[in-house]
Chain A
């Protein structure tokens, strides 16, 4: 059985495995497009009169089927997952009220070229190599969060501009405790005792954004990680101009930004003999080999220019005139200009 045949057969037969209350439910197969255009197949079972239905991703079930599992058993398992799913505790009607939702907005920064199809459906603004998309945080605990992406139909329902959403999301994200750590601190924090004995200092410096830059010692070889308290969608902080400036104050100059994932970015002082070719190659390699496809931020290294107070593609910063023709009217993340490089848009 091919994947398409499997999907069709699941759609046709799943009702035989569902309780009586699902007799008049609609069963749909839908393609769900996640970040970086990662596509998955969802089975949707919509009970009559219900306004919420689970998306049960059946690609994994197909993988199990290929491993010679019994189709009957797989259908039982899908029915079990669909009917026992923990329903989000939310009043759907509240989602239509922008005033109630604006403080719950957060930015999910993505690579605009890696999401060109998906962005057609989503509220977004463009910033250099990136696009800001927006999520509503419905609930949040230490274990995780429930969120909803803001699509075009929601924006229409709200009756606000995308620029308004962007400004409100920027304000809301600033209240979610932006964090800047030295690399060794954040790895030790995640790994805990597993990292003991790896030569990292026992005393951690903590969140550098909360300290006076005068009290922070930064070596040219230091690596910093910019994220937020929940370590989720922290790359959106690249759009916070005050934070970028504070990072520059801490470092004492310009810096490179490696787009390590949608959840955090790596900051390197632009001192010494850093080769951009090497940085670009490193980002591509780690993205290709280690980062989950839907969490890749970009392959494009960025550069913070302190004099112009802006973030720009590092390749364009290195030679703006030579690289001018590779971009478009969204070349620069902050919309400002490289005046001291002789380039005016």
Chain B
């Protein structure tokens, strides 16, 4: 019995020592080890993600058929509005191009984008990260903004490995973004701005909204570009719940992020803007 106990203590001690040594070793080559494991597991993860997407999209279609019909008619209406707007904007663009050429200003067009794929998600609920299959070798650097197709803000690069990078999503509590409202139709009310960060359950919390401004449910929120990390006018989300307490200095709002649900694994790193 005593011998058995001694054996068990010895085993525990051996495990602890091995663990300590492994940690010490890994802390020196953390980046390389992680990069190696990401490359080893990229194929099975991509396969699982693709199979999962296939099934989930199938289920979604069956269960949301009623919503799809409703959404379709709403989109048709929106499309009509957008066609009108496009015609107007086309004229403004022509005028703007002409003025820019007269003033010899540089073209302020699109961003310099790097196409990438989301290969995995952070395996815990307390932090919101995704891994992308582009890294230092592709020119990805820390704090570079990452977007989804349609200029939808996903987050910023948090950690860079030789061939992979970790992206901190905007729904993470540690990610702060300077934002402003964007009215899709011409409105009498004043634009408002604020600072947002991630909130419980994959939503967003917007703070420091000027008290006298009018905030409505469904308002589109975009980046303001003031923080220096994200370029202006990237779509962030839509106002869901508004909080206007009498004793508070600012208004607050809870937002539904636009990037959710992540249906495609395609993303872009903004290398330059």
| A joins B in a complex | no
A residues near B (Cβ < 8 Å) are none
